[in-house]
Chain A
Amino acid sequence: MSTNDATNTSSGAIHWPVPLRRAVVRKRTSYADLVQAWIDELDRNQATLCRWYDGLDRAGCATAIGRLRTWHGRFFASDDAGEEVARDEPNTLDSPPAFFVRLWKGALRVLLEPARFADDGKPMATTPDVLQVVPAKKGAALRLEQSANGEVRNADADFAMGDLVEFPLFVFLRAAGLSNYAGLSFDGDGSPFLGSSVAGANGEGEPVLHDNMMAMRFQLLLGLGRGAFSAEGKPVYKNGKPQQLRPHAFGDGAKVWARGMMYAGTLAYKPKSDRATIENYHWGAERDATAVPECVTNKSGIDNLSTEHPVTPGWTCSPATLLLTNYMLLIDKKRGGNSVRKTMTKSDYDGSTVRSYYVDTTPEKILEDEQPQIDQMRTRIETIVKEIEEILPLLGGEQSIAALAIDQAAKDTAWATDVPESVRKLLARRRKSPQSVYDTIRGRLARRRTSDEEAAQLEPLRLDLIERGVVVRERITTLVATEGWKAVPIKPNSIKLKGRLPVRSELEREEARDSRRVPRMKFNENVAKALGDKRKALKKAGDGPLGGLDAIAVDITDYCSDFSIVSLDGHEWALVKLRPAENLLDAREIPRAGFIAAYDPLSCEPAFIGEGERERGQLTVFEATGGLRRWTHSGTTYNTYGAKPFKWVPLDGNRVAIGPRKKGGMFIRQKARFRKKEGSTQRDETAGTGSWKKFCHIWRCNEAGLDRLASEYGTRGAGDWTPFVIIPTKKGKDEAVKAATRRIEKNWEVYYKERAIPFPTIDECEGGFVTHAEMTQAMRNMIDLSEPSFDGSEKCQFLWQSLTGKERPDPPPDAGADEICEIDDGPAQECVLPESVAP
């Protein structure tokens, strides 16, 4: 084999979200290398292609690859090469079909482009027939010449991190002899996220191309959360320091910053138009915008923003999970179809913008097919919740175990019935305090004047409680020893708070010594007294199988479906099980719906952290968080307004850590749960829920599943989803804001057809969002005593604290008793819907 026959691959520069067809660029690469990577990919997977596409055989593949190589060799030929031709004699130059790739610009390229906007009222400038030279701050320029349908036409084009390209697989198939693919071409208005990247000539009956639309659809959500507002100059600040996400973006000068927040409005259903849309529902605002500033957030959230940073509406947990479940799972008859379509028009967007991943079926059929899986997942979730509840006492130490044991006893109707009435009443009164129950029994037994008859009645109760405690402990021991559970070591400085569990031998020893000398169950004190300093305590505590636990981590891979919505008390979060994108190649038949896979929208790094997870599926947290406070004023509930961090974090080992909550119950611990690399701005646990659940479906353990969705929405055009659009929040009379809003509204289709992250940037929304400074001023204005409706009550105090982080030194007098605000104890997540979108 000659040297020229060798291939020059650059697969490390790209990632294949849809193998053989669609790729994203991880680092700067040339056009020639990009196509070469496709050639290599095709060459490696000829058998797969032949399996998927009827009529395609290895000979056809070889021919097509030869044509592709020929085109590559000719199109990217250097001036030193060229075609050797004869003078004065005929020469035939038979060109192969052109294999131009379709480009959707990544966030970095968009940021680097000198101009992205047309004037207000005019469509965004497109790039046909124009050689756009995009300057990088350092290094060579990004040259780009695109045709009207988005094909890259200049051989010296460069591709930057974040670019999304689709290769002309239909040209390849045609070159391989499949003539039915001859009528296809890239759709200049199409989007890979909507299944419309390729158009057919006839509109009906086009041949099918393989796809992974589930992954692309999920990717759209990630783009919204992770990359919609990425900007070079406006990074997320954390602890006063800008957080750059990408270490090697492009060249050595350009940087991309991800906001890591969910933007736009909230998923809502509009009865008037009978459709669901994304709505901004003015968190914390009354309809009269002059009454309360539209943006009020708490200090910790503000601290993560620069002064002039726009503060945007965000989604909290419920809308985020709603969006995920509804957008990904709710099926309607219009979504669907082939991944090849004729054209994409605005009416298409209006009517059925989301393509189905289930072809030739109905919503009812989908639900029927999915129901077993739904039921199975629900059962699994219930199982894990039950096991967690059993294990929780371990985290509270011996006291909690005793509490559980006594609670079990208290629920036992036959327990403590064979005792004098006085004792039974005494115990009944004290059952709310397990320790008191035990102490009561122990005290009675220890008391000298207790009769032998009463002691004989009480002693079995005491022993029963101990026995129940031991049983609970053993059960916990068994559970924790189960594969998948993992103890999280306790921190040295909290060792004193943890107790050593009683073991049977100790109890038996005590019993043997003196049945009347009842051991107290305050092992915390015993441990602290016996072990002295922390180091010894830690060592000693770690000796036992259950000692020294701060939390319990559990591998929940098998408990989770592809989408698992965990509805906790006051918080919802989703777990998404990702699969390697290349698994698509294992499909026996041509895949179109595919499965959930993902890459980072900015860096295009595939979303995997370990080989184990690669096999089992990588669980990632899809979550909007933020413990923004809620309060009630004059009967209306308000929620603090502000940007909510969006988290999309892989779980290391697919484990979540379960820890105790302050007021009992359980909570998935933030710090243990997230192996975060960046991004978190708030860590508050949350409490309480709002009215959202009355309106929108949340997939909970003991609720109906998708069938409810179908019954409530399925027949009312619920599938008519518009693609996501960023909606500025300042819809006042400000002309600049109006202009920004109009630009976005008019150009949203262009975003889809031109961009790998089809949303406007912060700059493009300039003026549409309030800034930190504006919000601060509004806050100060609002708490001014001259404003009669905010008279310095608790609400004002709260707002002041939110703004300054300090208690106001001179709280104003309570001037209006009937205006006193009620402030909830805990931070909240939910908010009522405004009247305009409430059903």
Chain B
Amino acid sequence: MSASNAAVAMDPSETRTHLVRPGECLSELAERYGLHPDTIWNHPDNSELRDARTSSRVLEPGDVLVVPELRQRRCEKASGKRHSFVRKGVRARLKLQLKKEGEPRADVAYTLQVDRRPPVEGRTDAEGRIDQPIPPGARRGVLVIPEDSERIVLRLGHLDPEHTPRGAQSRLRQLGFYGGGVDGELGERSTDALVAFQQSCGLEASGELDEATAARLREEHGS
């Protein structure tokens, strides 16, 4: 006797939309909707968004994402046996590079706690990098570097695109140029930070968040 099991598959003709809210990113949404991130991102109806964003991992609140509906898929298997079904997907990761005054912090001990999961201890690699798997829906992490008494709260998935004021402020702050809050308003201190960043990169010190500056911010930051 054979049995039929339901599985999901993409039906390009059936879609819905999702209005991106602060802190949401593609991997989280894919997890929520039961789809592979690439399934969503590569949907034809998202072509315009793909053109607007340099990375599928950095969405802006207000973006509209087309999410295909799940579809049934039939698969025949013999009865009386155990069958394993593997769902395709990508685990989210947290990728950080720690620097101090521009220099990588190599082989530095750290502790990372994501949401309320048990903390993970580790050491940075020779380039000061941390690469840890995290749940796709994780929202908050706390990175502690005992050596320097640093405790950094991470708001996972909250990074806005580089050309937005918030995204620029976040990147400037994480690159050590800006100590103010991330509020999306480019005030005097934000402008000073932009000038300092532009000077450090050899860009025109206009204090404006122009295209070149945004691109360089993304390049220096990594996202």
Contact = CB atoms under 8 A, between A and B. Distances in A.
A85 B158 contact: yes
Given A5-B188, A93-B99, A87 B25 contact: yes
Interface in B92-138: 92-102, 105, 134, 136, 138
B179 A71 contact: yes
Contact-residue size bin, chain B (C-beta under 8 Å from the other chain): 35 or more
B180 A73 contact: yes
Interface string B16-60: 000000000101100000000000000000000000000101100
Given A66-B192, A93-B96, A93-B152, A85 B223 contact: yes
A100 to B, nearest CB: 7
Contact of B97 (A3, A73, A92, A96): A92
Nearest to A75: B150
B11 interface: no
Nearest to A78: B153
Given A72-B179, A74-B152, A95-B99, 9 more contacts: A70-B176, A70-B179, A81-B182, A83-B173, A84-B158, A86-B25, A89-B223, A91-B174, A92-B96
B222 A83 contact: no
A4 B153 contact: no
Interface string A223-264: 000000000000000000000000000000000000000000
B156 A87 contact: yes
B74 interface: no
A70 B173 contact: yes
Contacts of B170: 83-85
14 contacts: A4-B189, A72-B179, A84-B159, A85-B157, A85-B158, A85-B159, A85-B170, A87-B138, A89-B55, A91-B159, A92-B220, A96-B101, A97-B101, A100-B149
B173 A73 contact: yes
B91 to A, nearest CB: 9
A93 to B, nearest CB: 5
A412 interface: no
A87 B173 CA distance: 18
A83 B154 contact: yes
A153 B149 contact: yes
Contact of A91 (B100, B186, B221): B221
A77 interface: yes
Interface residues of A, number: 44
Contact of A82 (B93, B152, B176, B192): B152
Interface string B138-175: 10100000001111111111111000001000100111
A95 B100 contact: yes
A290 interface: no
B12 interface: no
Given A5-B188, A153-B149, A95 B223 contact: no
A70 B177 contact: yes
A471 to B, nearest CB: 72
A69 interface: yes
A604 B136 CA distance: 53
Interface of A: 1-5, 62-63, 66-75, 77, 79, 81-98, 100, 145, 147, 153-155, 175
Nearest to B102: A94
A46 to B, nearest CB: 13
B204 interface: no
A604 B151 CA distance: 32
Nearest to B94: A87
B174 A93 contact: yes
B222 A90 contact: yes
A88 B149 contact: no
B96 A85 contact: yes
B173 A88 contact: no
Enumerate the 10 nearest inter-chain pairs by beta-carbon distance, A residue then B residue, closest first. A69-B179, A82-B153, A90-B222, A4-B181, A2-B187, A73-B179, A70-B179, A84-B158, A2-B185, A5-B187
Contacts of B95: 88-91
A182 to B, nearest CB: 10
A147 B220 CA distance: 33
Q: Which of A66, A68, A77, A94 has the most CB of B within 10 A?
A: A94
B10 interface: no
Given A69-B189, A89-B95, A84 B182 contact: yes
Contacts of A95: 98-101, 105, 148, 150, 176
Contacts of B185: 2-4
Contacts of A67: 176, 179
A88 B38 CA distance: 13
Contacts of B182: 81, 84
Given A84-B158, A85-B156, A5 B98 contact: no
Contacts of B222: 89-92
Contacts of B153: 77, 79, 81-83
Contact of A87 (B57, B98, B100): B57
B28 to A, nearest CB: 7
B63 interface: no
A5 B189 contact: yes
A88 B90 CA distance: 10
A148 B28 CA distance: 44
A73 B98 CA distance: 17
B111 to A, nearest CB: 15
B70 interface: no
A520 to B, nearest CB: 84
A5 B156 CA distance: 24
A94 B105 CA distance: 9
B174 A83 contact: yes
Given A5-B188, A86-B57, A93 B157 contact: no
B198 interface: no
Contact of A4 (B92, B152, B180): B180
A84 B167 CA distance: 9
Given A4-B187, A98-B148, A154-B149, A91 B96 contact: yes
B188 A92 contact: no
A79 B157 CA distance: 16
B196 A85 contact: no
Contacts of A71: 179
A68 to B, nearest CB: 7
A98 B151 CA distance: 12
B148 A2 contact: no
Q: Which residue, A5, A74, A155, has most C-beta atoms of chain B within 10 A?
A: A5
B176 A94 contact: yes
A3 B183 contact: yes
A155 B95 CA distance: 26
Nearest to B135: A87
B200 to A, nearest CB: 9
Interface string B76-98: 00000000000000101111111
Given A74-B152, A85-B158, A86-B25, A93 B98 contact: yes
Contacts of A5: 180, 187-190
B221 A88 contact: no
Given A88-B57, A90-B95, A96 B183 contact: no
B193 interface: yes
A73 B152 CA distance: 11
A87 B157 contact: yes
